Amino acid sequence: MRTDRLTAVERAYNRRLVAPLTRRDLVKTVTVAAGAVVFAGYGKSTVAKAQGNIRLVQWYHQYGEEGTQDAALRYAEEYTTVNPNVEVEMVWVPGDYEATVLPAALLTDEGPDVFEGHVTQALVDAGQVVPLDDLYTPEVRADFHPNDIATATVDGKIYSVKMVNDTGVLYYRKSLLEEAGVQPPTTMDEVIAAANTLNSGRVKGLFLGNDGGITALLTLAPQSAGTDILVNNEIVFNNERTVLAYEKIRELNDSGALLVGAPTDWWDPSAFTGGLAAMQWTGLWAMPGIREGIGEDFGIVPWPALDAQGVPVTFWGGWAEMVNAKSRNIDAAKAFVRWLWIENTANQQDWNLSYGFHVPPRLSAAAEAEPLKTPPPADAVRYFYENGKILPPQWTPAMGTALTNALSNIVKNGAPAAEEVAAAAQTCEQELQRLLG
Amino acid sequence: MAVQSLQAAPVPVTAAGRRRDREAMIAFWLFMSPMLLGLIVFTFVPIVWGFLLSFSRAQNTVSVGDFIGFQNYVDVLRDREFRRSLITILVFTAFIVPLTYAASLGLAMLVNGVNWGRGIFRTAFFIPTAISYVVASLIWRMSLFNGIPSGVANIAIYEWFGIENPINWIAGTDPPWYWLVLVTVRLWLQVGFYMIIFIAGLQEIPRSLYEAAWVDGARSGWTTFRDITLPMLRNTTIAVMLLLFINAFQAFDEFFNVLGGTAATQGNRGLARPPLVYLYQVAFQDADYGRGSAGAFILTAIIITVTVVQGRLFGFGRSA
């Protein structure tokens, strides 16, 4: 740098930069830097500015679809526009959101005011969420599917408002099935046969996730056998049908026709669109991505029935908004939830349909959803309403871990299925007793 | 003379001396207190709290109070998956400790033996130490050892051995290739660090010992390695072994990330679940902080016991 051309201001600035750091400067710098690190906080947060005296913190898990984060921020800003005295800080939380980050945050006084998740008996018993019954007028309540009310209800009170409904379907490549003379499967045996026929070694028959479907089919498999997991505070899966369903998952894994070890997992359609597998189990949310990848060369079915005594199934999933019981502004938080997910059907349509495909939870909003009116999405919505299965709020992660361990032992280690299912049922029983106290 | 001048002169007890003492004391506490405070707040308090939690029923809460005696400890020890996790970590230790020891000592001797470019080799082998376990695990899982034909390992077996069907490196059990993935990622990450320690150890050995051996007729190679190098590296070996054992028992990152980190794919975790992944699931996922703390104290007790036994066996702290 040629110093002779520098202006006086620049020279002064340079002197400042090279001036020896005083102790006070050092302390100041270190304090500011440490503060920046500490207060950078968690995830990316953006505050919708308001003159407001009320400030709400709203947490989302990281959605995969492009544009969702901006949409969530836009909703928060819109709320401040209509309610100038409330500002909403939207926090987008990456990582293991519901399994670890959220539960830890809810233990503290610094958790979010409003957050998405799933209502559980444990959350309610620990007094971490507030009932939202007053948001559900009779008309509002009638406009939500009974499944969305059931999964939100503990001991007769409703604790969440459904924001987004998710479901899964079995996608298949039409051209590959036609070429191989394979019909879309309607039973588990047909799934196994189709996967084997379609498997050419380098293009696998079916992709159920990198654990061979242990997570994806954990509860769907027994449900497809006509039994269930947890109904009316009873563990009901300990029976021959579950054992048979799990043995079939082992048979499928042992056949070598499954794709395992793909760079992405079952919730992402890349393995299917990239031609790594002829069929894949993934969400309705992935349909726009699949269309972009392979056009209309795909068909969908629900997860097939185990056999003639079984039923086709899919999961009734999604996310629901709750209000933290430790919030200092519970009423404001409730008002925000009502505005965003009950009154504001335009935003609900946008959230559910503009970024990936989901079913808007308001039945009236779902009925008006243009993109879902024609097949194949219309078929997926029909499977969702007809075959969607729920898990009640009494189902805990610990029960899920016990059942996952059982199925993993059956599939991976060839453990006797009946014993594993019985042991898992016993663990789940104990857990349920402990929960219901 | 030079030696004498290094010895501190006795300080006469004067007012000035007392002031210097007081200033030294103030300086000592000024320098130490941030560190001590941090240690108390972030280490000692959590340990005591965790200990109390381990005797409490604490689900979805971290408040101490609902005491249930040793029930959490009994629950953990009764859980088949916890006992299995101990076996998993023993198997892992049995692979990783001797492998790292042999590989890092071998590398150290090679690097120490070259006359040209020692610094380059030393740096090249040390660099992986600076890489995050999470990043390395993801590269191992998604790029090197994925199960599709275009994975690096699958291309290699196709090119070298003509095996056309891609191997399912991570989720397969017959044979359990996942051990190869788990062991190699840690080996690659830590071998450079232990190599540096061994190089330091090797440079401490006086050349005169080798020269004397040469005069006595011992030729360099296996004999001098066995009779001079290894015995002279005894203290380094003990330190390295202790670190390797403790690190292996605390393995988490590569198991968690290679076998599926998020809640959406948990079916592979059961293949090889070390105690820390087990405890993570119990405490943070199942939100049973009481039982998680109990498991943590059981694991701590095991690590301390192994370390003490190991120290006794190798004679840690005894002079050579």
pLDDT of residue B266: 82
pLDDT of residue A27: 53
Task: Output phi, psi for B162, to 5 deg.
Answer: 70, 20
> Residue B235 is part of which domain span?
73-314
Looking at the fold, whether B85 and B47 belong to one and the same domain comes out as no
Strand pairing class (A153-154; A157-158): antiparallel
**Which chain A residues are within 8 Å of B261, Cβ to Cβ?**
96
Q: Do B147 and A104 touch (CB under 8 A)?
A: no
Tell me, what amino acid is at B222? W
Q: Which of B53, B265, B273, B279 is most worth mutating to test chain A (most A CB atoms within 10 A of its CB)?
A: B265
Contact (CB, 8 A) for B121 and B111: yes
Q: What is the DSSP letter of A206?
A: E
Q: Do B173 and A412 touch (CB under 8 A)?
A: yes
**Which chain A residues are within 8 Å of B168, Cβ to Cβ?**
260-261
CA distance A176 to A278: 7
CA distance B227 to A186: 72
Q: Do B145 and A126 touch (CB under 8 A)?
A: no
**Per-residue model confidence as pLDDT tens digits over A58-89:** 999 998 888 999 999 999 999 999 998 999 99
Residue of B nearest to A121 (CA): B60
pLDDT of residue B9: 54
| Residue A143 CB partners (closer than 8 Å, separation 6+) | A362, A363, A364
What angle (nearest 5°) sits at the alpha carbon of residue A361, between those of residues A360 and A367? 60
What CA–CA distances, in Å, run from A436 to A96, A389, A431, B72, B152? Answer: 27, 23, 9, 19, 51
Contact (CB, 8 A) for B189 and B136: yes
CA distance A187 to A193: 10
- Given this chain, do its domains A44-166+317-381 and A168-315+396-436 carry the same CATH topology? yes
The reply to whether B215 falls in a domain is yes
pLDDT of residue B171: 85
**Which chain B residues are within 8 Å of A122, Cβ to Cβ?**
59-60, 287
Residue of B nearest to A218 (CA): B267
Which residues does chain B have with pLDDT short of 70?
Answer: 1-13, 261-264, 316-320
Most confident of A3-12, A24-33, B249-258: B249-258
Q: Do A265 and B264 touch (CB under 8 A)?
A: yes
Looking at the fold, whether B49 and B178 belong to one and the same domain comes out as no
| Residue A47 CB partners (closer than 8 Å, separation 6+) | A55, A87, A88, A89
**Per-residue model confidence as pLDDT tens digits over A347-391:** 999 999 988 899 999 999 988 888 888 889 999 999 999 999 999
What CA–CA distances, in Å, run from A41 to A46, A98, A103, A110? Answer: 11, 18, 17, 11
Residue of A nearest to B146 (CA): A261
**Per-residue model confidence as pLDDT tens digits over A241-293:** 999 999 999 999 999 899 988 888 898 999 999 999 999 999 999 999 999 99
What CA–CA distances, in Å, run from B130 to B124, B127, B189, B192, B200? Answer: 11, 6, 8, 10, 19
First to last CA, chain B: 31
Ramachandran assignment for B291, one of left (phi > 0), alpha (psi -120 to 50 degrees), beta (any other): alpha
CA distance A417 to A411: 9
Residues from A in contact with B at Cβ < 8 Å: 96, 98-100, 103-104, 107, 122-123, 125-126, 128, 201-202, 209-215, 259-263, 265-267, 276, 396-398, 401, 404-405, 407-409, 411-413, 434
The reply to whether B4 falls in a domain is no
For residue B169, the domain's CATH number is 1.10.3720.10
Q: Do A99 and B264 touch (CB under 8 A)?
A: no
- Name A59's bridge partners: A91, A115
DSSP three-state, residue A388: strand
- The first and second tokens of residue B24, run together, are 């030294």
pLDDT of residue A299: 95
Contact (CB, 8 A) for B54 and B72: yes
ipTM for the complex shown? 0.81
CA distance A347 to A392: 27
Residue of A nearest to B170 (CA): A261
pLDDT of residue B63: 81
pLDDT of residue B213: 86
- Name A300's bridge partners: A171
Of B61, B148, B169, the CB nearest to A276: B148
Q: Do B265 and A96 touch (CB under 8 A)?
A: no
Residue B21 touches partner A, C-beta closer than 8 Å = no
CA distance A360 to A165: 6
3-state secondary structure B262-295: CCCCCCCHHHCCCHHHHHHHHHHHCCEHHHHHHH
CB pairs under 8 A between A and B: 122
CA distance B307 to B302: 9
Looking at the fold, whether B146 and B267 belong to one and the same domain comes out as yes
First to last CA, chain A: 75
pLDDT of residue A171: 97
pLDDT of residue A112: 95
pLDDT tier at A9 (50, 70, 90 boundaries)? very low
- Alpha-carbon gap: B50 to the closest alpha carbon of chain A (Å): 15
The reply to whether B85 falls in a domain is yes
Residue B224 touches partner A, C-beta closer than 8 Å = no
CA distance B263 to B291: 20
Most confident of A45-49, A51-55, A64-68, A182-186: A182-186
What CA–CA distances, in Å, run from B11 to B1, B4, B5, B18, B212? Answer: 20, 16, 14, 10, 48
Looking at the fold, whether B109 and B193 belong to one and the same domain comes out as yes
Q: Which of B84, B168, B178, B259 is most worth mutating to test chain A (most A CB atoms within 10 A of its CB)?
A: B168
Contact (CB, 8 A) for B200 and B237: no
- Alpha-carbon gap: B241 to the closest alpha carbon of chain A (Å): 33
Nearest to A393 by CA among A125, A143, A164: A125
Looking at the fold, whether B126 and B43 belong to one and the same domain comes out as no
**Helix, strand, coil percent content, chain B, rounded in steps of 5:** 70, 0, 25
Residue of A nearest to B143 (CA): A263
Domain ranges for chain A, please list them.
44-166+317-381, 168-315+396-436
Contact (CB, 8 A) for B189 and B128: yes
CA distance A286 to A284: 5
Look at chain B and report how many structural domains it folds into.
Answer: 2
CA distance A63 to A75: 15
- Name B139's bridge partners: none
- Name A162's bridge partners: A320
Task: Output phi, psi for A154, to 5 deg.
Answer: -130, 130
Q: Do B264 and A404 touch (CB under 8 A)?
A: no
- Cis amide leading into A376 (omega within 30): yes
What angle (nearest 5°) sits at the alpha carbon of residue A362, between those of residues A360 and A365? 65
Q: Which helix (H) or strand (E) holds A181?
A: none
Q: Do B285 and A100 touch (CB under 8 A)?
A: yes
CA distance A137 to B108: 74
Sole residue written with tokens 């605390």: B250
Residue B150 touches partner A, C-beta closer than 8 Å = no
Contact (CB, 8 A) for A72 and A92: yes
Q: Could you please state the CATH topology (level 3) that the domain comprising A168-315+396-436 is classified under.
A: D-Maltodextrin-Binding Protein; domain 2 (3.40.190)
Of A122, A276, A405, the CB nearest to B270: A405
The superfamily CATH assigns to domain A44-166+317-381 is Periplasmic binding protein-like II (3.40.190.10)
Looking at the fold, whether B199 and B267 belong to one and the same domain comes out as yes
Looking at the fold, whether B101 and B188 belong to one and the same domain comes out as yes
Looking at the fold, whether B213 and B105 belong to one and the same domain comes out as yes
The reply to whether B320 falls in a domain is no
The reply to whether B64 falls in a domain is no
- Alpha-carbon gap: A8 to the closest alpha carbon of chain B (Å): 41
pLDDT of residue B13: 66
- Name A389's bridge partners: A315
Q: Do A99 and B263 touch (CB under 8 A)?
A: yes
Looking at the fold, whether B97 and B246 belong to one and the same domain comes out as yes
Sole residue written with tokens 């703390």: B293
CA distance B272 to B147: 18
**Per-residue model confidence as pLDDT tens digits over A118-147:** 999 988 988 999 999 999 999 999 999 999
- Alpha-carbon gap: B25 to the closest alpha carbon of chain A (Å): 21
CA distance B279 to B285: 9
